[in-house]
Amino acid sequence: MQIGIFSVGDITTDPTTGVTPNEHERIKAITTIARHAEDVGMDVFATGEHHNPPFYPSSPTTILGYIAAQTEKVILSTATTLITTNDPVKIAEDFAMLQHLADGRVDLVLGRGNTAPVYPWFGKSMQDSVELTVENYSLLRRLWDEEVVNWQGKYRTPLHAFTATPRPLDGVAPFVWHGSIRTPQVAEIAAYYGDGFFANNIFWPKEHYQQLIGLYRERYEHYGHGHADQAIVGLGGQFFIRRNSQDAVREFRPYFDNAPVYGHGPSMEDFTSQTPLTVGSPQELIDKTLTFREFYGDYQRQLFLVDHAGLPLKTVLEQLDLFGSDVLPTLRKEFAARKPAHVPDGPTFAARKAARDARTAAGTTAAHQSAGTAADGLVGTVPAEEREA
């Protein structure tokens, strides 16, 4: 199990002090948080992508490249890379470059994003979001898998004898997760390519994510990548912990009550009972996190949101310290003991390169299916009654 943290990159006023960090302070803080995540033994740090206030991470690869230079082990990822509005050529080149700088410690979560105005800012229409996702990812895969690409599609200019540079490190493209909170077509795309599926697992009851993850697992097996329980699943989550549960509840309440997303809505008690949020002791976090496997099956990556809602940097670092000392060792032990032998580990560059080399030595090919017209049919593969806008 890969365990880490992710950030949505919000800039929010601390409701207990009235202090709002500026962009520079927040950007520098997230690099400190990422380094500290590695220091306490976490496996993954991920950042979101946003192009509108009150968020700052408009350039995730710049942030991750800076962090890569100051870390040695932690996998650097995105919590969302906008596959709809980013040029696939730029995604291919930016993440291959980051791969080289980080010695392979890179993967990414592709998603459509949750901010409607972003589409026209980049010359796109939100009504085309699913088709953009299919076409752009089809091209991205080819740019990584093929040295020379000839391509023509609907939403960008054609490519003639084009080679994306640099090439992926050692010929192994970054591992891709597809993230969604409401779109079955995204789960279908992930299954078709044999990629990972990431459910942010924050704001909705478990039944919502069970439906998406169940669809992904079913279709993963349908496309011949392995049994349904071998599909590569990642989950989000969030917590606020103190050694004493009552202290955690008392301290976090003003942040919860004023949070930009769920503040001034359900009570913290209702929200923690209905969603994966844990506010309490380390043992309560351990107990709740271990139930995720019961709902979603064995999975490979668990990321937590810890730096949101105006929490000051000092508090976030304290959360990481307590997690590293009182939660992480037990979660590692329990997840390892419960994982069946046939369920794969979380993807790493070294393991994927070794698997590719073994296939090559055995005379097999590691190439993906041709992504052209076959992938174009993905839009229609989800039954109409299961589709959501």
Average pLDDT score over residue span 234-241 = 97
Q: Tell me the residue range of the domain where 22 lies.
A: 2-386
- Percent of the chain residues past pLDDT 90, beyond the cut: 81
pLDDT score at 114: 65
pLDDT band of 378, cuts 50, 70, 90: low
- In tens, the pLDDT along 92-138 reads 999 999 999 999 999 999 998 767 788 888 889 889 999 999 999 99
- Mean of the pLDDT values across residues 370-385? 46
The single-letter code of the amino acid at 264 is H
Secondary structure (DSSP) of 110-172: EE--S-TTHHHHTT--GGGHHHHHHHHHHHHHHHHH-SSEEE--SSS--EEEE--SSPPGGG-
State residue 117's pLDDT score.
82
**363 or 240, greater pLDDT:** 240
Instruction: For the chain, give the percent of residues with pLDDT over 70.
Output: 93
Find the mean pLDDT for residues 372-384.
47
Please report, for the domain that includes residue 380, its CATH number: 3.20.20.30
- Does residue 373 register a pLDDT over 60? no
Strand partners, 303: 4
Q: Which residues contact 333 (CB under 8 A, 6 or more apart)?
A: none
pLDDT for position 221: 98
Q: Shortest CA distance to 284 belongs to which of 319, 256, 326?
A: 326
- Span 128-183, pLDDT tens digits: 999 999 999 999 999 999 999 999 999 999 999 999 999 999 999 999 999 987 78
Question: Residue 224: CB partners within 8 Å, gap ≥ 6?
Answer: none
pLDDT value at 21 more than 70: yes
CA 52 to mean position of chain CA atoms: 20
Q: Which tens digits make up the pLDDT trace of 264-311?
A: 889 999 999 999 999 999 999 999 999 999 999 999 999 999 999 999
Q: Specify the pTM.
A: 0.92
Q: How many domains does the chain have?
A: 1
Q: Answer yes or no: is pLDDT of 203 > 90.
A: no
Side chain identity at 204, as an amino acid letter?
W
Of 290, 304, 303, 282, the residue nearest 339 (C-alpha): 290
**Mean pLDDT of all residues in 33-47:** 98
- For residue 109, list its beta bridge partners: 177
- Grade residue 343 by pLDDT with cuts at 50, 70 and 90: very high
Give me the pLDDT at residue 374, please.
44
Instruction: Categorize the per-residue pLDDT at 380 as very low, low, confident or very high, splitting at 50, 70 and 90.
Output: very low
* pLDDT at residue 364, as a whole number: 57
